[in-house]
Amino acid sequence: MVDGGYLDYFKILGVERNATPEAIKGAFRKLARQYHPDMNPGDSKAEEKFKKISEAYEVLSDPDKRRRYEQFGQYWNQAQGTNARDPFGAGFDGDFGRYGNFDEFINDLLGRFAGPGAPSGFGGGSPRNSKRSALNLDAEVTVTVSFSEAFHGTGRILSVNEERVEVRIPQGVKSGSRLRLKGKGNLQPGTGRRGDLYLNLQVQAHSIWRLEGNRLCADLPVAFDELILGGDITVITPDGEAKVVIPQGTRPGTSLRLKGKGWPLSDGRGDLIFTLVLELQSQLSKEEQHLLEKLKKLRCKNPRESWVKSARL
């Protein structure tokens, strides 16, 4: 390739001629990181390569320029009297020492090549301090909290761009809840502009409690006699101990509801649901064994009587 002649921008970026804008951007990002002069001090070949891949990206990332390039080939820039042979513009030094990391530099560079309608700080002598296209400076982070912290609310101290940010997580959050911290996101170098920070919350599972919509639920182990005879039993709720009444003859799987004793909501509390689960003992005392055998002899109804009639084919 010779200056002033035809440059195959697709070949320079290592992409096919039908490459999508996303593929072109990805190829440029990779090559820019590899050939930037600050990554290759004193290497004039790397510097020249960096200028060519930047020139290629400026043209191929702009739909109008790409269309003219594909239509007119080496004469594409004469088709509208433009010149992309100096993609950096006068005075651009390519120094990323003022950036927090190389990704910030690349993101800023991509922002300058933002396509139609955006000022091109790299396009034929536009002022270096011209208004650049807006970058997405927002940041996201996943924060995991325990079930108890989600119920009661909690605080977190996060490190964001070397700044300690104190966060208050309100009570009643759920997995998938999203909190926004205004002005605590990424900082755009040289402008002072800063995006927002979004916290994506994940709530750890609990060994007893689970959330089903707005209802706080748990399986409640009960004994055989408690189901048959019924009565009051003591249970644990998020607010401490409470009494629940099991009606006589209750079947396993029955749910008992404590209204307004469940998960914190914006307008109060949800319901607390206990599902009764029969807990059978694996070992019995001699007295228990004796009483059960006596109960067996006294039982007056076969529990499978109606089932046997219906099961016959």
Is the pLDDT at 90 greater than 60? The verdict is: no
Cβ neighbourhood burial of 75 (10 Å; 0-12, 13-18, 19+)? exposed
132 vs 151: CA distance, rounded Å: 45
Return the top range by mean pLDDT from 14-28, 67-81, 120-134. Answer: 14-28
| Contacts for 195 with CB less than 8 Å, ≥ 6 apart | 136, 137, 138, 139, 183, 185, 186
Predicted confidence (pLDDT) per residue in 257-300, tens digit: 999 999 999 889 999 999 999 998 778 888 988 888 888 888 88
173 vs 155: CA distance, rounded Å: 13
Domains detected in the chain = 9-112 (1.10.287.110), 139-203 (2.60.260.20), 210-306 (2.60.260.20)
312 vs 296: CA distance, rounded Å: 26
Q: Quick one: pLDDT at residue 269?
A: 94
Q: Quick one: pLDDT at residue 58?
A: 87
Q: What is the mean pLDDT of the chain?
A: 79
Is the pLDDT at 76 greater than 70? The verdict is: no
32 vs 96: CA distance, rounded Å: 12
Helix axes of 21-35 and 102-112: crossing angle, nearest 10 degrees = 130
pLDDT grade, residue 194 (50/70/90)? confident
Q: Quick one: pLDDT at residue 221?
A: 94
Token reading at 269: 């509390």
Token reading at 99: 């950036």
Token reading at 8: 């195959």
